[in-house]
Amino acid sequence: MTDREHAERVLVERGLSPELEAHCRGVAAQAESLARRWGAAPDDAAVAGLLHDLCRERTRQEVLELARKHSLKVDPIEKEYAVQLLHARVAAEEAAAEGFSPQIAEAIRRHTLGGSGMSVLDECLFVADATEPGRTWQGVEAVRRQALKSLDAAALTLVRRDVERLRSRGREPHPTMMALLEEKRGTQV
């Protein structure tokens, strides 16, 4: 069985809603195409896309329980927004437990908050999550185009957008997200 077949099997077994499953397939396609453009492994990108939101529909209790099961250290912001933030880290652990590679697990782990020192694969998934074909937010088309010219620039646009959205709601962004913003800002002219 290939990694892709394995990921397909896991995705179906977990019984996601049709909407979320369609999102995962869209992210897989978009991540794969970005990986071809930017030199990451296309199969790994597709697999990470298929599996990245495996735990997105779990309840807060379930996500926290999975974090405990995988012995994850959970910080206060992650605890408060467990479903929104921690679903990435627990899905990464679940993927690793299924035998997928550390690179795939890492891309899944970083898909919500990013962080500094992301690999090309990590960035492909991060950007694909927000720009897959099913996404229709205002400006998405421009970021899709930007991602073909510079993956870093697209990641910077997206993280800026996330930070602004959080601050407009009176929330302070997670330090891991800020680390990505600072790093990418430093590389742009």
Within a 10 A sphere around the Cβ of 20, how many other Cβ atoms?
Answer: 16
Binding mask of the shown chain, residues 71 to 110, with x at each position contacting Fe ion by CB under 5 A: ----------------------------------------
Q: Measured from the CB of residue 67, what is the shortest distance to Fe ion in angstroms?
A: 15
Q: What is the DSSP letter of 173?
A: P
For Fe ion, the closer of residues 127 and 179 by Cβ is 127
162 lines the binding site for Fe ion (CB under 5 A): no
Contact in structure between 160 and 181 (CB atoms under 8 Å): yes
* In the complex, minimum distance from the CB of residue 3 to Fe ion, in angstroms, rounded to a whole number: 19
For Fe ion, the closer of residues 25 and 184 by Cβ is: 25
CB of residue 162 to Fe ion, shortest distance in Å: 12
- Start-to-end C-alpha separation, the chain: 45
How far apart, in whole angstroms, are the C-alpha atoms of residue 47 and residue 41? Answer: 10
119 to 148: interface string for Fe ion, x by CB under 5 A: ----------x-------------------
Task: Give the span between the Cα atoms of 105 and 110, in whole angstroms.
Answer: 9
Q: Tokens 């209790």 appear where?
A: 61
> Interface residues with Fe ion (CB under 5 A)?
53, 129
